[in-house]
Structure formats: C-alpha cells, structure tokens
Chain A
C-alpha cells in the first residue's frame, strides 16, 4: 500500500512539475503585451489609436492641428495634408493638400460655420491659420475621399498679409470663431500669432480688423498683456452663461482667460513656474473645452494632458507620459473633445489617440 501511495504522489508531483516545466519553457517566448496602463501620470487608458507614419490617407506625417465637426476629426499634418478622420475607425473620409505650402504648413485651425463663397450659411468651414503665408484662409471642404482621386477645397475667403500693422500677421498660430447667440451669424473672429508680433487680433464677421491685444514678452502685469507664442485659442462658455477667450501662451507656460474684448480675467501658470508637476505647464500648445466648462490642455513639452478647472485654477487630472508606446505621448500639439471622448494629437508618434477623460 505504501508503494501505491508513493506512485500516486509522484504522479501528481510529476504532473505539477510538467505544468511548471511547460510554464518555464513557454516563458522563453515573448509574452503578449499589455495594452493599457494606469491612468494619471502614466499611460493613457486609450479607446482608440489612429494613424501612424505615412503619406497615404488615414496616416500622418507629424500632425499639428486638430478639431472636429461633430462627426469627424479634422487633422492637419506637416505634409500640409488636411484630413477628416472617422473617430471610431480612423478611416480617412476626406483629404486634400493645402494648395500652397512651400513656405510652411499651417499650425492651427478651427471648424466653424459661416457664409460660404456664395454667402450661403454653411455648417463646417475650415478657418485655417496659414502660418507661413501670413493669412487666414477659409475653405469649404471637398467631397468625400475617393481612393486615387485628388480633391481640392473651395476657397471661401482669405485675409491678412505680412507685417506688424493692424490686420497684418507674422506667423499665425490659431483661429477661433465666436458665433452670435442665434448660432447663424459670426460675432467675431480671433487670430493669434507669434514671431515677434505675439498678440491676438480680433476681426469682424466681414474680416475687418477691430482691435488687437497683447505684445511680445514674459510679463505678468495684468495692465500690459504679454504673450510668448500664443499657440491656441478657444471660446469658452462659462457656467454662468458668459463667454470668454482662452489663450494658450505656450512659451510663457501659462493659460490666459480674457473677455471677448481682450481684458485679462486671469492666468493659470507662468514662465517662472514652468514645470512638469500638476498645476504647472511646460510648453502648453493645445486646448479643448469640456462640456462642463473645464479644459484639457495638451503640453507639447510635458508630453501629457492636463484636465484643468480654469475658474478655480486647479488641475483635475493628468493623462499620459512621454514615450513611443501606445498610451504614451510625444510632443502633443493639439487636442479636441468629441462626443465625450478626448482626441489628442500624438504628433511625434504620428497618431491621434482617443480616450475618455
């Protein structure tokens, strides 16, 4: 009986050993990767990653500007291609290349309604900061992409020239359109620029220069607004029903809030406090507004997104870390929020990453 019992024991032991052995042998293989990391300062718990380096539709070469039209994501990359991307599948729905791009490519734009070239109110026009051509250019997008066919947008309007005078531009960075209360008219158009003429210029619906505010500098004096590469603009609706202009002052590492008349409401961050801690900014480049009035700030230098309460001046959350892996970010230029999901341009990784903030 002792012998039989011993055989049984070793049989079990051997079986366990074989399982362990198989685990050990199998361990030589590459273990399957872990898709998502932790939230906060770690990897983004993403829901979608689209793009990748390439020159074919649906791929990007260093994308630098992003916005949405309610259904699709619009993205402009450094090859001067403007693409409309399905946020779920990443498929390219519309694509065209900027007609002129030899001197440089656009770095900012917004999708907003407005009168088209015939004066007919049209929902989704592209207001493009044509950075190196010193002008704002408005396009009506071409029809849906057909593989093998090149399509061109329809020019609706353009204004601006090179210079430091009123209505002139050095290097434009972004455009924001403030609509009238009826949503069927344009109240004002805001344009930011840098390059020694760092300011925000304000135009009427007919593209007439109204006024500008800001000058180049690092100062924090509320009476003398200074910008150091105002990279992004957004029109924010406050909880109290009022509206304000959010200016991302990239090289001063701060976010500015202004009335629509250009009066400073407050700063969050500063050149002196630049950094990578929550509440600090390191080259913030992009801004997207959440439905509740909070904002997502993409930090080009910090390789992350900060969810901030602009009213309180506090950080609500931090997303992402620097790196090349899925969920990590490299030089994120811009961010937008569509249907409750945030889409951040992971520029140096040539992709757009969607996640639930």
Chain B
C-alpha cells in the first residue's frame, strides 16, 4: 500500500486507488467515442469532460481524501527539575547562593517575550515523580499551585515520558508542534533519561536542555558506617565511620545505637568526639559493645565546626544495621497481660524469651519486627494496627522468615476485623466463614461523601474497600452516594457480599458527587436496612459534614429500628472541632448510638481505613461460636508441631472464632463444630504461621492451663513457627553498586570448611514495605553472590534461608541437610540527591544531541525557546470523502443532463451577452437569423420528407414545438416493438447531403443527436447490404 500523499491541501490516505483514474479515463474516452458520437461536437466534449470528472471524483472519494491543515504554532513543554539537588541554594557564578527555581521562573518569563502569537507553554516538574503543573497555555501564564511530590530523587525518564504524553495544543486549542525544554542539573537517581530520549526522538520531539551548573568546593559527606552484619549479644565490635571531605575540615562526631547516644568523648558527659578530617576519605573507628538482641541500628552524625566547611547538611549522617543473634525471642501482643499470662508462663518455662506488649507498643518498622523470632497476636483487632504495621508484619513473615501465631478471642480473626487485611494472607485459615455455614448475618450501608477531602476519591475508595473487605460473604452491604447524573442513589443496593466482586466494582464506580443533603439518603438507607434480613444493622457516613440534615424524623426512626449510625467527619471546613458540620455529624452518631470520629488533618487520613474496619466489625459479631464445651476433633496428630500432643487428648473448649479451611499446603490439626478449623499451620513465603481460633485460656479454654500438655502445646507451635537459626557460619557482606547492592555470602561449616552447592531462597524488604527476591549463585568455592535494587533511601533487610547438603566429610550434619537463616541489612541513609557535588551537564548535551535538540542559551532573550527549525509541524487532517462523493453524485447527474439537454454555445453566448446587457436587439437579430437558417434547412429537406409530412399528428400549435422534436411514424413504432435497440423516435429529416451549408448544420444540430444515431444505423445497414451483395 502506498503511503499517504497530498496535493495542496488535499491528502489521500489510500492513494493506490488513484491508479484507477488513468485506466478509467482511457476506457471512458474509448467508450465515449462510440456512445457520444451522436452528440454535437461541443456537447460531446462537455459530456466527455463531465464523465472524466465523475471518474476522478469517485476514485478520489474512494482514495480517502482528507483536508489537511498544517500547524503553524509551537507548544513548549518545560520540564523543571525540582529535586533536592536543585531546589537547594547552589553557588552561583559569583559564588553566592542562588535559588534555582526562582531563577527558572524569571528565565521563562523573559523568554516568553520571544514566543510568537499562538505559541503555548506547558509545565512539568521532575523529582522522585513527575507532575503536570499546567496544560498548554499562553507563554506568560504560570500556574499558582505546585505539587511536586517527594523531592528526594530525580526521575528524568518519567518526566520525559509525561512531557511526551501532554497533547501539544496552540492558543486556539488546535494542533501544534512540540518542543521539550529540560531544566535540570542532570543528576538522575532513578530511571534512564536516555531511554526516554529515544522515545522522544521516535516521536520527532526535540529536547532542548538548559543545564543548571554548580559545584560545591566545601563539603563533608558521611559516606557510610561499617559494622558487622551479624554479631552475638554482648560482643565487642568496631563501627567504622567513613567520612569524605572535599577540603580539610574539623568537626564533631556522634554515634547512636538504636537511638541512644554512645559516649565518645573522654570527659564524663561528653557524648561526641572531635575529629580532624583530611581532604579525601577518612575512617574513624569506634569500638562499641552490643547490648541487646535483634536488629541493632548504628547512626553516625558529623557536625562541622564552621558551617562554611560544609554545604549540604543532609549528607552528614549515615546508618548501619547489625543483627545481634539471640535464641527464641517471642513478642506476644495482647490487650492485657492477664489475657495471655498462662501462655506467657508456658513460653518462659520453655526457655523462650517471651515479651508481652500492648498493641500500642507494637513495632513501628520492619527492622523492629525482625528483633523477634516469632510474634503472637492474642485477641487483638486489626484496627489497633496501622496499615503499614500490618504490611510490615506480613513482610516479616513472608520475606524475612519470621513466625506468626494468631490466637483467637472476641477481637481476633474475622471478628477482629482481620478479613481482607495483609495479615490475613499470612494465616493458614481463611477468615471468611464457609459459604454453607448458617450464621446470623449483619447488614452495613456506606454513605459516601468525600469529594471535598484532599484526594477524596482515593480515600473514599480506600475506606469503602476496607469496610467491605472486612465483611464475610454472607453479610449484606449497600453503598449510597450522591451522583450528579443520578442524584441520591444506590451505587450498590443492599445485597449479599459474596465474593465481593460486585460490591468492589460498585466501589470503583463511585463518582463522589457533591452531596447537598443527607435527608433523602438516610431515608433510603433506613428503608433498605429495615427490609434486610440481618441481625445487626449499621450505617457509616463519611463526609465533610456540610450536607443538610433537617428531616427530624429519620434519626428517631433509625434508633427505633436498632439501626446504628457512625459518622466519620473528614477535613471539615471548620477545623476548630466545633461548628455546624461537627454538630450535624456528632448528632447523627449520638442519637443512633453510633460512634463519631473527627479527622481534621490530612496527616490523619491514614487512620481512615482502620476506622472503617472497626466500624464494619459491628455487623460481624456473628463470627463467634459460643456454646456448650466440647472436645475438639484431632485431624492431624503427626504434623511437626502436634507431635506427642494427641496422646493425652485435648481438653474441652467452649468457644472460638469461625473461620474456613484454606486449601493448599495448610495443615489443619484440630477441628471444632461443623468441622470448623481450630488449629492450623503452614509455611508462608520464608516464614511460618499458626492459627488457634480459640482463646488463650481466659474465657473459652479456661481448663487448658491445667492440661498436662499445655506448655508443650504452646512451645511446640511457637518454636515451629520461629525463624530457624543454623549451625553453619554464613558470612554476609554487601557492596554498594550505586542504585543496586551486591550481596556476597561465604558459607562455612562448623569446622570452617567451605560449603558448596548450598541452596538459597532470599528476599529483600526495602523502604515502604517493597519486597523483592534476591537470587544467590555460587561464584567460587563456598562463595555466593546476588544483586538487588536499592535505589531509594532507607533500610533494606535481607533474609536468606539456606539448605546446605549433608556431608560427613565436612561434618555438616553427617549426611543430613543443614538448614538455617542468615540476615543482612543495607542502608541508604540519605537520598542520592545529596551525594551530587556538581552538575552532570554532559548528560544533558547527550540528550540534546540524541533528539535533535539544542543546549539553549542562559540568556532568555537569545534562547528562542519556541524555535521552529527542525520541527515537523503536525497536520490536522479531516475526512472529506463524503463531500467528494456528493460532488461526484451531482456531477454524475450533470453527465446525464449533458446528454439529454441540448447545449448550444451560440445561444449560451447570446444569453450571457444579454445578461451582460449587450443589447436585446443584437440577440434578437441573431435569433432571427438562426430561425431563418433552420426554416431554410427544413424547406430544403421537405421533398425528401413528403411521406412523413402527411403523417404529422401535431396541431398547429404543436407544429412549432415539433420542429425541435422528433415524432415516430406508425411503421417505425411497430419496428420499435420488435427491436428494442431501435430508437423509438423517427426523425422527420433525412440524411443531409454533404456541403449543405452552415444553415443545414445548424438545423441538424437542432434536430438533436438521436437523429444522428438513426442515420448512422442506416449508413451501417447500407454498407452491410452492399457487402452482402458483393
């Protein structure tokens, strides 16, 4: 297929069809010479011309013609680097600090004077993520508000991709050519701008660059703190602090272990120490004793003596983590010490270091969770943990090999709001009860109004999902909102939650309209819940509190129907915790015996999901089974944690939280009523978890502490779940490769021999809970290496489970496989943004060269940012095939008309002249002469038409008209009936003699083309007869 091409403003998308034009024209001319031969010369030519035009238009319409309009204006998309490396004041040409972003604004303002009318500008910022600041607008316009997101990174690749995605529009919203201008120091920390530049080049968009130049001459960087990755409790280790100084500098160094400052000075109370730094790398060794087990964090901080010695304070500290080994450290999280006292005693007696904490004291970081070998959650609900804590706990098990034991109670498992939580994934039972289980169910209605909350749509969806995910499949859920198109309506009518797909779809379709009033919606919720077959009925309202509620009857009606309403006031207009919005929301909750929550600050939004989870639990109390004490059924007595327990028989219990069996590798050891799982365990990622759905001996298992196997029961299950420790010696070291880290493991057996063919399964948990696998491959005798991404600042915890082959020669278990876990940590204490001591302008030049862009001038008046040269101007093409086809159709009709209507140039000319006012008299004379000529011709032909004269049927009046017509004779009409190809007219004139003169020609033309056809036929017949006679 040929490519599209254009002739002037007309472009043909399928020009191959145009090849038909010459072919069709030749055929048309050939056919026309025969079919149009009966016409006069002028008529024939015009008819042929019209036919050719018809052909041209039809073929042209088929060739998909477009009306093309080439753009004349340019859209400049400016990408401004707003990362920390640029946002900070940097030394200017005169050495004084310069606010770069302000300078950029001034530069663009001045440069806008050079833009041409119709040109536009759009703006983006680039930091850790890229954001559009304004869509194409007049060059002088500048958006007011800037949201640039996290500034601790530079991702220029994403910025270029985003810049390419902005439609290039000119001032009249028409198409425009695009240039990209990137203003950056070109120190990118993630991504590769070169890859994006290739996309820009492919799109024909040049990238101009304006490098931001700077260089720090006075700077001190604490490069890293080096500590052993693993150590034993009480061991003396040396923390080496690596400090790089551009020029010699003096300052003080301090060291913190898990937040507690270590005394480094010689005098009592002198916590830091004086250090003298030489230009280049400096190492400061600090001997310390490791006080506690678990992950231990070292943090070194350098403070320059004179501020002039240091330019970037953010890189004056560094951290490191050492894993201090201990045996059997277990964290028990419970609502009170009494709740788990028998269990705690049992664990202590089993030589396990059990620590009991309240949920509010739970670890707040992944590093803190790794301090323990196993975690027991005893009758604690999910809303007492933040989403991040739950994510960390899941990663602790899955990626770091930790153990998790969940123990039942009224606030545990599904009854504790854990359904749909990250922790639920780690448990060996499903928290949703089995479908066939007959249980009283609850009904929950969500009334959503979060449109005026920052990121309201996001949070609205998050809280709705949190609530619904927490419901069991038999519960009922309904969602109400105000939609601009539908008004007050059920986004999801009250119905069984089921597999949650329908309600999740409904949540994703929420439009979060600006709700004027609660009146209608609360009445709808009341009506719906009144009809619902449910034990508990509850409504949760999320709103900024400004919808009206003046229907005084609805709240009493809800209270009478035992429908509770909890209200979540989010980001109200009145932040002073009073006012009408507060009053309305408080009143609703108070009068219906629900709960009221007031979330004022955006920083508190993260607690919203947990509020909804907690509120959703109000309708889920039915997940608890309580009744007459029974003896649980032993299903699996041979599994590792159950070994030896079944012999004694299990004591009775009187309650548990209903859960469902999880298919797959989960092993159920004990079952309750209707075969509900009571005790189950499984491996989850690198870790293990255990679920015991009855409680820890305070209400449902009161008799258990006196059971002879009580201590063994808890010890075996907790020890089974705990992270294993090996007896081999795995030395782990890490190496910083920029945005990646190489990890090296040297495997030795207890005798110090190198271990080969060790199998590793490792995962790395990074900042923000991001997890990634790490693959270790053997690269030498007993040496294994792997690499993982570590671009973001923060701590990276690596856990590797190993299986070493048994070898009697090596002594690693006398032929039995050796298993264990090793851990290591890598820290990136500050963003790489703060490592840059000078710009990376050559990268910018490379990008400009790659894309056909320029390194623009520092002088905005010389920069010519809207330069046209080198741009491919876009074309706006609009289909015009329908117009061409219609013209073709009209021309086709013209073709018919030309052959049916006599065209007399002389008459037309006369008419034109008459129209132009050249005298009526002349025209009359001409007409008279024509008339005279025709009469002469008729007279001269009269003797040859005697036979026909008597056959005239026209009246006197008709006779005049008939001079220009033809009448068929009766004989000819008969002939017409037998031969349809014969024209049905018989001309009243005979074949003209040659040389009859102009008047005769004129008369003949006046008789029309059909007579010519007849004559031609007669001539042909005569010729045929002659040949026959010959």
- Residues facing B in A238-276 (CB within 8 A) are 250-251, 271
Partner of B892, one of A5, A15, A171, A271: A15
The digit string for A216-249, where 1 denotes a CB below 8 A from any CB of B, is 1110000000101100000000000000000000
The digit string for B804-822, where 1 denotes a CB below 8 A from any CB of A, is 0000000000000000000
Roughly how many angstroms separate A194 CA and B982 CA in the complex, as a whole number?
A: 92
Partner of A228, one of B109, B550, B584, B881: B550
Partner of B982, one of A1, A26, A79, A282: A1
Partner of A216, one of B487, B550, B980: B550
Q: Does B568 contact A (CB under 8 A)?
A: no
Roughly how many angstroms separate A190 CA and B856 CA in the complex, as a whole number?
A: 58
**Chain A hits for B583, CB < 8 A:** 196
- In the assembled complex, how far is the CB of residue A331 from the closest CB belonging to chain B, in whole angstroms? 4
Roughly how many angstroms separate A4 CA and B660 CA in the complex, as a whole number?
A: 87
Q: Which of the listed residues A131, A198, A282, A331 has the most CB atoms from chain B within 10 Å of its own CB?
A: A331
A18, B58: Cβ atoms closer than 8 Å: yes
- Taking chain B's interface residues, is the majority helix, strand, or loop, or is none over half, making it mixed? mixed
Task: Contacts A25-B64, A55-B144 given; indicate if A197 touches B580 (C-beta within 8 A).
Answer: yes
Task: Contacts A250-B516, A330-B484 given; indicate if A195 touches B546 (C-beta within 8 A).
Answer: yes
B548, A194: Cβ atoms closer than 8 Å: yes
Q: Does A127 contact B (CB under 8 A)?
A: no
- In the assembled complex, how far is the CB of residue A357 from the closest CB belonging to chain B, in whole angstroms? 22
A11, B109: Cβ atoms closer than 8 Å: no
Roughly how many angstroms separate A30 CA and B484 CA in the complex, as a whole number?
A: 29
The segment from B135-143, B337-345, B559-567, B966-974 that touches chain A is B135-143
Roughly how many angstroms separate A283 CA and B515 CA in the complex, as a whole number?
A: 10
Q: Does B388 contact A (CB under 8 A)?
A: no
- In the assembled complex, how far is the CB of residue A48 from the closest CB belonging to chain B, in whole angstroms? 15
Task: Contacts A1-B981, A56-B137 given; indicate if A330 touches B485 (C-beta within 8 A).
Answer: yes
Task: Contacts A148-B112, A195-B546, A300-B516 given; indicate if A19 touches B888 (C-beta within 8 A).
Answer: yes
Partner of B584, one of A97, A131, A148, A196: A196
**Chain A hits for B514, CB < 8 A:** 331
Q: Does B922 contact A (CB under 8 A)?
A: no
- In the assembled complex, how far is the CB of residue B831 from the closest CB belonging to chain A, in whole angstroms? 29
The segment from B455-463, B571-579, B709-717, B792-800 that touches chain A is B571-579
Q: Does A22 contact B (CB under 8 A)?
A: yes
B548, A229: Cβ atoms closer than 8 Å: yes
Roughly how many angstroms separate A298 CA and B729 CA in the complex, as a whole number?
A: 78
Task: Contacts A15-B54, A25-B64, A228-B550 given; indicate if A57 touches B888 (C-beta within 8 A).
Answer: no
**Chain B hits for A21, CB < 8 A:** 62
Partner of A217, one of B62, B550, B889: B550
Q: Does A8 contact B (CB under 8 A)?
A: yes
Q: Does B61 contact A (CB under 8 A)?
A: yes
B885, A19: Cβ atoms closer than 8 Å: yes
Roughly how many angstroms separate A29 CA and B878 CA in the complex, as a whole number?
A: 10
**Chain A hits for B574, CB < 8 A:** 103, 132, 162
Partner of B140, one of A25, A147, A196: A147
- In the assembled complex, how far is the CB of residue A344 from the closest CB belonging to chain B, in whole angstroms? 14
**Chain A hits for B84, CB < 8 A:** none
Task: Contacts A19-B889, A331-B514 given; indicate if A171 touches B580 (C-beta within 8 A).
Answer: yes
Partner of B879, one of A29, A56, A216, A301: A29
- Residues facing A in B108-161 (CB within 8 A) are 109, 112, 134-135, 137-145
**Chain A hits for B139, CB < 8 A:** 147
Task: Contacts A15-B58, A322-B484 given; indicate if A171 touches B145 (C-beta within 8 A).
Answer: no
How many A residues touch B, CB cutoff 8 Å? 60
Select from chain B the residue with minimum beta-carbon distance to A250: B516
B516, A251: Cβ atoms closer than 8 Å: yes
Q: Does A278 contact B (CB under 8 A)?
A: no
**Chain A hits for B879, CB < 8 A:** 26, 29-30, 32
Task: Contacts A171-B573, A303-B484 given; indicate if A218 touches B62 (C-beta within 8 A).
Answer: no
B145, A322: Cβ atoms closer than 8 Å: no
Select from chain A the residue with minimum beta-carbon distance to B452: A104
Roughly how many angstroms separate A273 CA and B402 CA in the complex, as a whole number?
A: 63
Q: Does B875 contact A (CB under 8 A)?
A: no
Partner of B882, one of A26, A131, A330: A26
Partner of B550, one of A8, A23, A198, A283: A198
Partner of B58, one of A22, A32, A301, A330: A22
Task: Contacts A22-B61, A56-B143, A171-B546 given; indicate if A8 touches B516 (C-beta within 8 A).
Answer: no
- Residues facing B in A29-53 (CB within 8 A) are 29-32
Q: How many Cβ-Cβ contacts under 8 Å join chain A to chain B?
A: 149
Task: Contacts A147-B141, A196-B583 given; indicate if A26 touches B550 (C-beta within 8 A).
Answer: no
Partner of B142, one of A148, A218, A226, A228: A148
Q: Does A183 contact B (CB under 8 A)?
A: no
**Chain B hits for A291, CB < 8 A:** none
The digit string for B960-1001, where 1 denotes a CB below 8 A from any CB of A, is 000000000000000000011110000000000000000000
Partner of A348, one of B135, B484, B885, B1017: B484
Roughly how many angstroms separate A97 CA and B139 CA in the complex, as a whole number?
A: 20
Roughly how many angstroms separate A24 CA and B365 CA in the complex, as a whole number?
A: 66
**Chain B hits for A195, CB < 8 A:** 546, 548, 579-581, 584
Roughly how many angstroms separate A226 CA and B552 CA in the complex, as a whole number?
A: 13
Roughly how many angstroms separate A112 CA and B139 CA in the complex, as a whole number?
A: 34
- In the assembled complex, how far is the CB of residue A154 from the closest CB belonging to chain B, in whole angstroms? 20
**Chain A hits for B575, CB < 8 A:** 103
B134, A55: Cβ atoms closer than 8 Å: yes
**Chain B hits for A343, CB < 8 A:** none
Task: Contacts A23-B882, A331-B513 given; indicate if A1 touches B1017 (C-beta within 8 A).
Answer: yes
Q: Which of the listed residues A19, A22, A131 has the most CB atoms from chain B within 10 Å of its own CB?
A: A22
Roughly how many angstroms separate A57 CA and B135 CA in the complex, as a whole number?
A: 12
Roughly how many angstroms separate A228 CA and B547 CA in the complex, as a whole number?
A: 10
**Chain A hits for B145, CB < 8 A:** 55, 79
Roughly how many angstroms separate A103 CA and B888 CA in the complex, as a whole number?
A: 65
- In the assembled complex, how far is the CB of residue B418 from the closest CB belonging to chain A, in whole angstroms? 38
Q: Does A109 contact B (CB under 8 A)?
A: no
B62, A7: Cβ atoms closer than 8 Å: no
**Chain A hits for B980, CB < 8 A:** 2
Task: Contacts A7-B35, A194-B548 given; indicate if A104 touches B573 (C-beta within 8 A).
Answer: yes
A301, B487: Cβ atoms closer than 8 Å: yes
**Chain A hits for B706, CB < 8 A:** none
Q: Does B595 contact A (CB under 8 A)?
A: no
Task: Contacts A218-B550, A250-B516 given; indicate if A282 touches B64 (C-beta within 8 A).
Answer: no
Roughly how many angstroms separate A11 CA and B519 CA in the complex, as a whole number?
A: 73
B882, A229: Cβ atoms closer than 8 Å: no
Q: Does B551 contact A (CB under 8 A)?
A: yes
Q: Which of the listed residues B54, B548, B581, B882 has the most CB atoms from chain A within 10 Å of its own CB?
A: B548
- In the assembled complex, how far is the CB of residue A88 from the closest CB belonging to chain B, in whole angstroms? 15
A103, B573: Cβ atoms closer than 8 Å: yes
Roughly how many angstroms separate A132 CA and B35 CA in the complex, as a whole number?
A: 86
Q: Does A60 contact B (CB under 8 A)?
A: no
- The contact sample of 12 A-B pairs, CB cut-off 8 A, is A1-B982, A4-B35, A18-B62, A22-B58, A22-B888, A103-B574, A104-B573, A147-B139, A162-B579, A197-B580, A228-B517, A323-B485
Residues of B with Cβ closer than 8 Å to A? Answer: 31, 34-35, 54, 58-59, 61-62, 64, 109, 112, 134-135, 137-145, 484-485, 487, 513-514, 516-517, 519, 546, 548, 550-552, 573-575, 579-581, 583-584, 878-879, 881-882, 884-885, 888-889, 892, 979-982, 1017
Closest 4 pairs between A and B when the two form their complex, measured CB to CB: A1-B981, A147-B140, A26-B881, A195-B580
Identify 14 new A-B residue pairs, CB closer than 8 A, beyond the known A147-B138, A218-B550.
A2-B981, A15-B892, A19-B892, A22-B885, A26-B881, A29-B879, A55-B134, A56-B138, A132-B574, A148-B109, A148-B142, A195-B548, A229-B516, A229-B517
Residues of A with Cβ closer than 8 Å to B? Answer: 1-2, 4-5, 7-8, 11, 15-16, 18-19, 21-23, 25-26, 29-32, 54-57, 79, 97, 103-104, 131-132, 147-148, 150, 162, 170-171, 194-198, 216-218, 226, 228-229, 250-251, 271, 282-283, 300-301, 303, 322-323, 330-331, 348
